[in-house]
Amino acid sequence: MSTIVIPPGRCLRTLPRALRPSTAPFSTSTHRSLPAPAKKKTGTFAPPKRGERTLKLKKRDVVRETRPPAPGERKAVRKRIVLSNTNALEPAGLVDLTADMAGAEEVRGRVVGIPGEVVDALRVVEGFKVGQGWAFFRRPAALMRNEVVELAREMEGVEQARGADERAVGSGVRDLGGQTLRKLVYGERGTGKSVLLLQAMATAFLRGWVVISIPEARDLYLGQTEYAPLPNTSPVQYTQNEYTAKLLAQIAKANRPVLSKLKLTHAHNLPIKIKPGLTLDAFAELGVNDPEIAWPVFQALWTELTAPAAEADAEGKAVAVPRPQILLAIDNVAPILRPTQYKTLDADGKLRPIHPQDFVLVKHFLDYFRGARTLPQGGLVLAATSGNETVKSDALSVGIAMAEARVANPENKQLKLGDFWNLYKEMDMRSLEAVMDVEALKLEGLSKAEARAVIEYWAGNGMVRSRVEEGFVGEKWTLAGGGVVGELEKAVVRMRF
């Protein structure tokens, strides 16, 4: 039997490694390494309980570094109108409008300035509107477009017709039967409807007329003006004393040069005592100081302006006192041709909207606008629509359509409502009667000659950087939709490339 001899080194390598002692480091100090991140929880979470706040934000105290705006300050800033730009140049050759110039042929298509005293009166009656661009130019001026010149000639014709009546009746105190013009100005947005009203009022001031203006008929519709039922009226009529007092203040201040020369000549049943021989401007201010009597004062003032009057001369004989013509102007007429936002209780105890003609002030204007009443000394009742107004009146739309039909076919005087409105739909007939028989004046874009005159005036103020040439005028006239004056101003003055 043979024996296997294994070398000593090899024998040691075959022994298990477990026989070798193992050592490990040991320390009692704290571990400096960060712990392992926690394992994210899996599964769905329930929504927060009702009333439990899931987002907690700390409220910060608002620190006001300036004083808060006073009551009415923001509205005053929003409605502030700037009529002069001292940085603009003085346009060369600009002449002021006069009473004789308004209807003259030589001013047709020219830009003329508005005299300073007329500017003050127009500001009182709120003839200037926000956004019309007066702040870009040196002083207020306007283009005498064809429609303005023709309107001024018609106003001159009213005066001439009254003069013929006065010569016919002599010095007796009788109704003169003056001519009353009624016009509705309409057109697209930016065609200059409000500016035409302003130019008509400027012409009236220059000719010595009494101007009574409702600058925004929307104020009589929104339900934001104080109102009260008028006693002893059936059906119930309503007064707006605060608004009437404001209107009397405008009438007295704007027409002071005319009213200060006229005195009370009739007896009036008023709740206050009236001093004899009081001038009409001072009489109108009585209603301003006490709004509760504003409507009776307005009625008495209107009687003084329209009823024939007489005064005693040095020999004690009655001498007729001429009363001035009257211009009634209403801008944005659509809201008062539909039910208002004022509410009242009907017989069933339910709230219903009040019709605008149930307000005595609105009814007073609309009676003259529809021709139910006339101005004895003659005058003009002028209303305009607004492209910015979102309140629509179906009666106004039908009235304009009927007026356009009369212009297109003057021989057809018997127009049928069914040709312009679906008779199965409801229509406010009271509002429709106010505009069914009125003359409509549509304003469209300017001609290229008129557009050039306006652009040259803007260039004279230093507001046009390019040379005013035929190509430049034609380009801007086209961009303005065929001479829409509002768009023309945007394209030439406001737009900067």
Residue 123 lies in a domain: no
Q: Is 374 within the bounds of a domain?
A: yes
Rounded to 5 degrees, φ, ψ at 262 are -110, 145
**pTM across the whole model:** 0.82
Query: Which of 265, 254, 140 lies closest to 206, judged by CA?
Result: 254
Model confidence at 418, pLDDT cuts 50, 70, 90, reads confident
Shared domain for 433 and 462, answered yes or no, is no
Note whether 455 and 476 are within 8 A (CB): yes
> How many CB atoms neighbour CB 102 within 10 A?
24
Amino acid at 479: L
Q: Are residues 433 and 473 in the same domain?
A: no
Q: Please tell me whether residues 328 and 453 are part of one structural domain.
A: no
H-assigned helices in 290-359: 294-306
Whether residue 55 lies inside any domain: the answer is no
Task: Specify the residue for token string 């009676």.
Answer: 367
Number of domains comprising the chain: 2
Residue of 212, 105, 204, 96 whose CA lies nearest to 159: 204
Sequence-separated (6 or more) residues with CB below 8 Å from residue 91: 138, 141, 457, 460, 461
For residues 23-41, give the mean pLDDT. Answer: 66
User: Minimal CA–CA distance to 212: which of 222, 224, 200?
Assistant: 200
Q: Is the pLDDT of residue 174 over 50?
A: no
Same domain, residue pair 261 and 372:
yes
* Claim to verify: residue 465 and residue 408 sit in the same structural domain: no
Judgement on whether residues 432 and 374 belong to the same structural domain of the protein: yes
Last residue of a domain, one of 424, 443, 462: 443
Domain identity same for 364 and 468: no
- Give residue-wise pLDDT tens across range 320-351: 678 899 999 999 999 999 999 999 888 888 89
Long-range Cβ contacts of 190-193 (<8 Å, 24+ apart): 190/387, 190/484, 190/485, 190/486, 190/487, 191/387, 191/443, 191/444, 191/445, 191/484, 191/485, 191/486, 192/145, 192/443, 192/485, 192/486, 193/331, 193/384, 193/385, 193/386, 193/387, 193/443
The pLDDT of residue 411 is 82
Percentage with pLDDT > 70 across the chain? 85
More confident position, 409 or 171: 409
Cα(380)–Cα(182) distance, integer angstroms: 6
Q: Evaluate whether residue 193 is within a structural domain.
A: yes
| pLDDT of amino acid 267 | 87
Residue 256 lies in a domain: yes
Using one digit for the tens of pLDDT, what is the confidence trace for 456-483?
Answer: 999 999 999 889 999 999 999 999 999 9
Q: Cα separations (Å) of 165 from 158, 171, 178, 375?
A: 11, 11, 8, 14
Domain check: are 457 and 431 in the same one?
A: no
pLDDT of residue 170: 45
Better pLDDT: 172 or 243: 243
CB 260 within 8 A of CB 225: no
| pLDDT per position as a tens digit, 127-142 | 999 989 899 999 999 9
Question: Is residue 202 packed enough to be buried (19+ CB in 10 Å), middle (13-18) or exposed (0-12)?
Answer: buried
My answer on whether 439 and 294 are in the same domain is yes
The whole-number pLDDT of residue 471 equals 94
Same domain, 212 and 344: yes
Look at 24-28, 51-55, 64-68, 363-367 and tell me which has the smallest mean pLDDT. 24-28
Is residue 13 over pLDDT 80? no
C-alpha to C-alpha distance for 190 and 443, rounded to whole angstroms: 10
**Residue 121: Cβ within 10 Å count:** 24
Residue 90 is assigned to a structural domain of this protein: no
Indicate the pLDDT class of residue 309, thresholds 50, 70 and 90.
low
Residue span of the structural domain in which 466 resides: 448-494
Q: Is residue 239 part of a domain?
A: yes
Structural domain contains residue 1? no
Is there a single domain that holds both residue 293 and residue 387?
yes
Are 316 and 268 in a shared domain?
yes
